[in-house]
Amino acid sequence: MHRLIALACALGVALAGLALAQEAAPVYGGSVTVAIVADPPGWDPSASTSQEIPRVVYHNVFEGLVRFDADGEIVPALATDWQVSDDGLQWTFTLRSGVMFHDGSAFTVDDVIAKFERAMDPDSGHTNPGYYAAIESVESAMDGTAVVFTLERPSRSLLYNLARPDSIIYPAGTHETQRTQPIGTGPFRFARYVEGSEVRLERFEDYHQDGLPYLDEVVYRIISDPNTRFAALQAGDIDIAALAPEQYQLAVANPDLEATVGTATAEITMALNNEREPLSDVRVRQAITHAIDKDAIVQGAMFGLGTVIGSHMTPAEAYYVDLTDTYPYDPERARELLAEAGYPDGFTVDFELPEPYANERRSGEVVAQYLRDVGIDVNLSVVEWGTWIERIFLGGDYDMTIIGHSEPRDINVYGNPGYYYRYDNPRVRELLEEAETAPTAEAETAAYQEIARIIAEDAVNVWLFSAPFIVGTQNDVHGFWVNQPTPNYNMVEVFRAP
């Protein structure tokens, strides 16, 4: 009940903050400084799946044919409209005319073709080639003013995948330099990056959408410590920052700040290496889930600001189904399952927490104590973010870890045995194919929900809670997204006004 009251109050403040932003008239000029948590591993979201990259560059620097708006709807970007053939096998996108890249070159259909030929090639290094697996060809149409995607089979997720950060477009032949010298068509151009310190974006005067952006400059400052971020926000040294749950009420009480709590798509996930003994035994994984009081973690680690979940989905997603009761908190049952699996005295496991993510670290520390209470000896350690990416995420070298998976609609990762969970289930892969070729939205949702039930019953991971997007801004800053339908600190319509 306390959690519900806290969320209701928080959401009320969020709506009030949004109303204030809508009442102010846009003002041109000025600069806004945004705090981000970590250095991204490069700046090309089609070269790395780190969500730190699109937080800065998606729709700010780079654009695709379509994009997500503040409500999570798919809207035009470099394409003005699109048509789909009756059989669902041809998608024709009309390209926006007069668009310029930040290097002064013109955006053409050749850039689109080069982009997706690379995306379709599983050996190119492009992220998530599976998103484009249904595409047979990408060709110019209508004298280069349109592009046609011809599919091998119908794909319900095609438009959604084209809106993802993976599908951003840059000048043909420049993918080797985009990690360090990003060049897009967005409202801001990449001006400067000081490693470990800041990223500076400047207004692109030739942006194709008249009247945007409002700001002359956006600075993203890299501040990993949440207390340092909040102190800088209170002092007025930065203008926008994500808040730790305990900072929310302090921000509400500060007359110089606006504080909001919005929806997000992040599942705080305690990932288990399903290949490694004893975690390869489903009874052990079930025991681990039974051992953890998720409600207590939300109350203690998140001050009630979070929603307990039971599978890899959040209430913000269309196919959400409540599976929180699959393996409820029951330490006695956890001990029984450990004994059945041959571990009556428990076992020892390494649990690695990523630096610098405070919510994950704090939640992980509480989880470790719950596991110790049922006889599992936890070796707790902190791993630097770059190492986490290389060794754990890419290399799968770990026992247990914890991270917020913020990319929306990413339950498809459970169909990839090489993903760092190391989970292999042919039925999940079949259901993913059924969802992709489903004749109706209802059939697609049903397939996704069955996947959610299967991975919950298999206790692939421990999904702790869905984290809200808690943010504080200076009260003269308007237009910043309250919700996070995709990881993106979107600055396109942000402005400063008294």
Q: How many domains does the chain have?
A: 3
pLDDT digits over 340-384, tens only? Answer: 999 999 999 999 999 888 889 999 999 999 999 999 999 999 999
- Assess whether the previous peptide bond of 426 is cis (omega < 30° from 0): no
Find the mean pLDDT for residues 443-463. 97
The domain boundary residue, chosen from 167, 192, 213 = 167
Strand ranges (E), 333-478: 348-355, 377-384, 400-405, 462-474, 477-478
Q: What is the CATH number of the domain that holds 252?
A: 3.40.190.10
Give yes or no: residues 319 and 461 share one domain: yes
Give yes or no: residues 461 and 439 share one domain: yes
Q: What is the CATH number of the domain that holds 127?
A: 3.90.76.10
**CB–CB of 33/240 below 8 Å?**
yes
pLDDT attached to residue 358: 85
2 lies in some domain? no
10 lies in some domain? no
336 lies in some domain? yes
- Strand-pairing partners, residue 266, are 467
Q: Above 90 in pLDDT, residue 481?
A: yes
The domain boundary residue, chosen from 116, 139, 167 = 167
172 lies in some domain? no
Q: What is the CATH number of the domain that holds 356?
A: 3.10.105.10
86 lies in some domain? yes
pLDDT digits over 238-287, tens only? Answer: 999 999 999 999 999 999 999 999 999 999 999 999 999 999 999 999 99
Give yes or no: residues 341 and 212 share one domain: no
Give yes or no: residues 229 and 311 share one domain: no
Please give the share of the chain, as a percent, with pLDDT higher than 90. Answer: 90
Please give the share of the chain, as a percent, with pLDDT higher than 70. Answer: 95
Give yes or no: residues 268 and 256 share one domain: no
Give yes or no: residues 462 and 484 share one domain: no
pLDDT attached to residue 19: 39
The domain boundary residue, chosen from 104, 139, 167 = 167
Q: Above 60 in pLDDT, residue 222?
A: yes
Identify the CA nearest to 349 among candidates 392, 379, 381, 382: 379
Q: Above 90 in pLDDT, residue 157?
A: yes
9 lies in some domain? no
This prediction's pTM: 0.88
pLDDT digits over 3-25, tens only? Answer: 333 344 444 444 444 434 446 89
Report the chain's terminal Cα–Cα distance, integer Å: 38
HSE-up (13 A, CA, CB side) for residue 321: 16
Residue 348's contacts (CB-CB under 8 Å, 6 or more residues apart) are 376, 377, 378, 379
Give yes or no: residues 196 and 329 share one domain: no
DSSP string, 377-402: EEEEEEEEHHHIIIIIIIT---SEEE
Residue 301, CA distances (Å) to 297, 315, 350, 351 in order? 5, 20, 21, 18
Give yes or no: residues 440 and 487 share one domain: no
Give yes or no: residues 384 and 409 share one domain: yes
226 lies in some domain? yes
Identify the CA nearest to 36 among candidates 199, 262, 189: 199
Give yes or no: residues 204 and 301 share one domain: no
**What own/partner pairs with CB < 8 Å and gap ≥ 24 does 388-395 have?**
388/352, 388/354, 388/355, 389/41, 389/48, 389/50, 392/352, 392/420, 393/420, 394/420, 395/420
174 lies in some domain? no
Identify the CA nearest to 115 among candidates 39, 489, 56, 101: 101
Residue ranges making up the domain that contains 371 = 264-468
Give yes or no: residues 243 and 283 share one domain: no
pLDDT digits over 50-104, tens only? Answer: 999 999 999 999 999 999 999 999 999 999 999 999 999 999 999 999 999 999 9
Find the mean pLDDT for residues 422-445. 95
Q: What is the Cα–Cα distance from 48 to 29, expressed in whole angstroms?
A: 33
Give yes or no: residues 246 and 286 share one domain: no
Identify the CA nearest to 350 among candidates 407, 290, 272: 272
